């Protein structure tokens, strides 16, 4: 850690955008008192949590790491925030992210980069770099993130943490600032599989305030993790290695740890089979079109009129259009603008069928590929990301397409709506940085992720 930060009493990680120490202490004291009186408490009572600054919290700012919402205070709690409060968990604060959750490095935050505790000149992953680093840097035992194309799993992978993207619609998105609504999903991040299972159970469940929320009972994730960790817990589990995501284009050290993990699974009694998802080669294209289209629509509300930033034109008449334009020019960063422009183009008359329409067809093909693969395997497996954490500033400055390609292993599950977990698989030989392994289960079978995750861990 650099001397300046140490002198200021800071870690230099910049995981948090806002600290909520006083309120957190108050909640912790309340739990202590109740415990002393022998009162019954929820499983995670008193366990502190960090919340991605895309999820609204009453009494604390919510910025989405954007100038557009700088200083904005939500008048209400998101459903997951409320559930965290009901669970009596002290909220430590709000964590850094790429602006409106768009990115893979947390470098697109309007409020500075977050650093990877394994190596301070490396990216922490993104968009949820702050949540992963809070956990990996031992600043919080648990964190909440959101995952639209990998934003929980890839930061977990590159920081040696565990991250879960649950089945689409299984955790409420009410009070989660929307990025791409057909893909967005809230999920847990922690240092162990069991910790993610506990948090997942605490925040899941049907919510009438979210129209895509599914009305199904919450799974027994903690039991599943116990079952997997027990002797013979993986016996007979059919693990499908995704052919297209376990070879070409992946760093050698990543593949070495991945293949070792497959050996461990085999030794634990799992049956390894090969599966093919032929359409995943089109996943990046489909994802970036669908996601950008939904982003352009979801971000249209930041117009300088209703809430958030308002910038008046420096000269000339003050009309709604000119205020809107000045506000959006000043309030959004480059990556947000890039995606708004791309999405607006993809949705425009004359191009809609060619771009958005084709992307939706690819999405259906990917869903069918998964369904077919799950006929022969209980869970699918691949590395979480093609590389370990790369240097800050290195790849994001030049070619955005190069960065987008790094999402190849994570975006297919968002397109298919199925659940996925990333957990540590050891350190790569080349750079001694963490490697993540990713398991995917059929929709609503999230419990399988905890079984296999805890079994391998
Ligand atoms: N890297 C992906 C993107 O930039 C992930 C986004 C996310 O999951 N929020 O779109």
* ipTM of the complex in this document: 0.98
- Would you say residue 307 lies in a domain? no
284, two tokens: 């990046």
- Would you say residue 342 lies in a domain? no
- Would you say residue 27 lies in a domain? yes
pLDDT score at 396: 57
Return the biggest CA–CA distance within the chain. 74
Q: How far is the CA of 328 from the centre of ligand 1 (A)?
A: 21
Q: In which region does residue 103 sit, left (phi positive, over 0), alpha (psi from -120 to 50) or beta (all else)? A: left
Q: How far is the CA of 268 from the centre of ligand 1 (A)?
A: 34
Q: How far is the CA of 286 from the centre of ligand 1 (A)?
A: 13
Q: How far is the CA of 210 from the centre of ligand 1 (A)?
A: 21
Ligand 1 pocket check for 177: Cβ under 6 Å: no
Q: How far is the CA of 156 from the centre of ligand 1 (A)?
A: 13
pLDDT score at 307: 84
- Would you say residue 175 lies in a domain? yes
Please state whether the peptide bond connecting residue 220 to the residue before it is cis, i.e. omega within 30 degrees of 0: no
DSSP strand E in 130-279: where? 142-146, 162-165, 186-190, 238-242, 271-275
Atom 3 (ligand 1): residue with closest C-alpha?
A: 103
* Contact present, 160 and 424 (Cβ < 8 Å): yes
Which tens digits make up the pLDDT trace of 386-412?
Answer: 999 999 987 556 678 889 999 999 999
Domain that holds residue 153: 3-232+416-456
Atom 10 (ligand 1): residue with closest C-alpha?
A: 102
333, two tokens: 């960063």
Residue 54's contacts (CB-CB under 8 Å, 6 or more residues apart) are 62, 64, 65, 97, 100, 101, 127, 146, 176, 177, 179
Mutate to test the pocket of ligand 1, among 98, 155, 294, 390 (most ligand atoms within 8 A of CB): 98
Mutate to test the pocket of ligand 1, among 99, 100, 103, 186 (most ligand atoms within 8 A of CB): 103
* Contact present, 424 and 434 (Cβ < 8 Å): yes
Ligand 1 pocket check for 408: Cβ under 6 Å: no
Ligand 1 pocket check for 244: Cβ under 6 Å: no
67, two tokens: 């100038």
Ligand 1 pocket check for 103: Cβ under 6 Å: yes
* Contact present, 1 and 11 (Cβ < 8 Å): yes
- Would you say residue 368 lies in a domain? no
- Would you say residue 262 lies in a domain? no
Alpha-carbon distance 145 to 318, whole Å?
39
138, two tokens: 């031992």
Ligand 1 pocket check for 149: Cβ under 6 Å: yes
Mutate to test the pocket of ligand 1, among 52, 151, 176, 404 (most ligand atoms within 8 A of CB): 151
* Active-site annotation, residues: 52, 127, 151
* Number of domains observed in the structure of the chain: 1
Query: Nearest-5° angle of CA 325, CA 327, CA 329?
Result: 65
Ligand 1 pocket check for 148: Cβ under 6 Å: yes
- The helix/strand/coil state of 366 is helix
Rounded alpha-carbon distances, angstroms, from residue 367 to 127, 381, 417: 24, 16, 8
- Would you say residue 47 lies in a domain? yes
Of 209, 207, 191, 210, whose CA–CA distance to 199 is shortest? Answer: 191
- Would you say residue 44 lies in a domain? yes
* Contact present, 80 and 55 (Cβ < 8 Å): yes
Provide the pairing of β-strand 379-383 with 49-52. unpaired
Mean pLDDT in order along the chain per 10 residues (457 residues): 60 93 97 98 98 98 98 96 98 98 96 95 97 97 98 98 98 98 98 98 98 96 98 97 96 98 97 98 97 98 93 94 97 97 94 94 98 98 97 75 93 98 98 98 98 97
Q: How far is the CA of 335 from the centre of ligand 1 (A)?
A: 11
Residue 11's contacts (CB-CB under 8 Å, 6 or more residues apart) are 1, 5, 137, 139
Size of the chain in residues: 457
Residue 448 belongs to domain with CATH number: 3.90.1300.10
Alpha-carbon distance 354 to 346, whole Å?
8
Could you write out the DSSP letters of every residue in 5-74? HHHTT--S---EEEE-HHHHHHHHHHHHHHHHTT----TTTT--EEEETTB--TTSB--TT-GGGTT-B-
Ligand 1 pocket check for 291: Cβ under 6 Å: yes
């Amino acid at each position: 850690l650099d001397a300046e930060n140490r002198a200021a009493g800071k870690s230099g990680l910049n995981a948090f955008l806002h600290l909520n120490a006083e309120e957190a202490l108050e909640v912790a004291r309340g739990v202590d008192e109740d415990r002393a009186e022998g009162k019954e408490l929820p499983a995670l009572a008193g366990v502190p949590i960090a919340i991605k600054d895309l999820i609204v919290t009453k009494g604390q700012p919510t910025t989405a790491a954007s100038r557009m919402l700088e200083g904005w205070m939500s008048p209400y709690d998101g459903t997951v925030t409320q559930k965290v409060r009901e669970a009596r968990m002290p909220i430590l604060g709000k964590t850094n992210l790429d602006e409106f959750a768009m990115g893979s490095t947390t470098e697109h935050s309007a409020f500075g980069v977050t650093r990877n505790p394994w190596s301070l000149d490396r990216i922490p992953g993104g968009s949820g770099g702050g949540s992963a680093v809070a956990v990996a840097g031992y600043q919080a035992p648990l964190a909440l993130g959101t995952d639209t194309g990998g934003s929980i799993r890839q930061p977990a992978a590159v920081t040696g943490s565990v991250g879960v993207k649950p089945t689409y619609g299984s955790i409420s998105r009410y009070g989660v600032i929307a990025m791409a609504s057909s893909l967005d999903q809230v999920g847990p991040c922690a240092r162990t599989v069991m910790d993610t299972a506990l948090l997942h159970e605490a925040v899941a469940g049907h919510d009438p305030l979210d129209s895509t929320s599914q009305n199904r009972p919450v799974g027994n994730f903690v039991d599943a993790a116990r079952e997997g960790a027990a002797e013979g817990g993986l016996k007979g589990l059919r693990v499908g290695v995704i052919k297209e995501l376990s070879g070409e284009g992946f760093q050698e050290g990543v593949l070495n740890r991945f293949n070792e993990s497959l050996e461990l699974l085999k030794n634990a009694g799992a049956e390894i089979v090969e599966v093919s998802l032929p359409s995943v080669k089109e996943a990046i294209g489909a994802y970036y079109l669908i996601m950008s289209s939904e982003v352009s629509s979801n971000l249209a509300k930041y117009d300088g009129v209703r809430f958030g930033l308002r910038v008046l034109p420096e000269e000339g008449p003050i009309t709604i259009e000119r205020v809107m334009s000045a506000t959006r020019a000043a309030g959004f960063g480059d990556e947000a603008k890039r995606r708004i422009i791309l999405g607006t183009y993809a949705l425009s008359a004359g191009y809609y069928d060619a771009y958005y329409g084709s992307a939706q067809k690819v999405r259906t093909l990917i869903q069918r590929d998964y369904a077919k693969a799950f006929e022969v395997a209980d869970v699918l497996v691949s590395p979480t990301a093609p590389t370990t954490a790369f240097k800050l500033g290195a790849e994001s400055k030049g070619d955005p397409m190069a960065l987008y390609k790094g999402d190849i292993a994570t975006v297919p599950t968002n397109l298919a709506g199925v659940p996925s977990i990333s957990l540590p698989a050891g350190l790569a030989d080349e750079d001694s940085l963490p490697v993540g392994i990713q398991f995917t289960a059929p929709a609503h079978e999230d419990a399988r992720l905890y079984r296999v995750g805890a079994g391998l861990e």
